[in-house]
Amino acid sequence: MTRRIAGLLEFGGTAKRPIRPTNVKALKLGPNWYVSRVTRPRTYRAQRFMQSAADDKLRAFDEEVAGKLAGELQRRLGSGRGSGSIE
């Protein structure tokens, strides 16, 4: 059930299974609208929360690696070790 909900929130889609209450006699859907179950399909728009989180982490990783790589290149070129020889 949890994977289904996460998939609907990530990619969007339609849930067709009816919602049936277990502990109450009716669901309140509006100011004066009570039903004992919901049988219509419910559609969910994609929110892409996992994809955006992965993109943010990748962007931060790229920035960190680029900074460290630039620093290391400057250090090696400044010390004369970057002459093209293999160590």
Residue showing tokens 């049988």: 39
- pTM score over 0.75: no
**pLDDT tens digits along 37-64:** 778 888 888 888 888 888 999 999 999 9
SS3 37: coil
Cα separation, 8 vs 54, in Å, equals 18
**pLDDT category of residue 84 using cuts at 50, 70 and 90:** low
**pLDDT tens digits along 19-34:** 777 777 777 778 877 7
* Residue 81 pLDDT: 57
The whole-number average pLDDT for the span 13-18 is 85
Q: What is the 3-state secondary structure (H, E, C) of the chain?
A: CHHHHHHHHHHCEEECCCECCCCCCCEEEECCEEECCECCCEEECCCCHHHHHHHHHHHHHHHHHHHHHHHHHHHHHHHCCCCCCCC
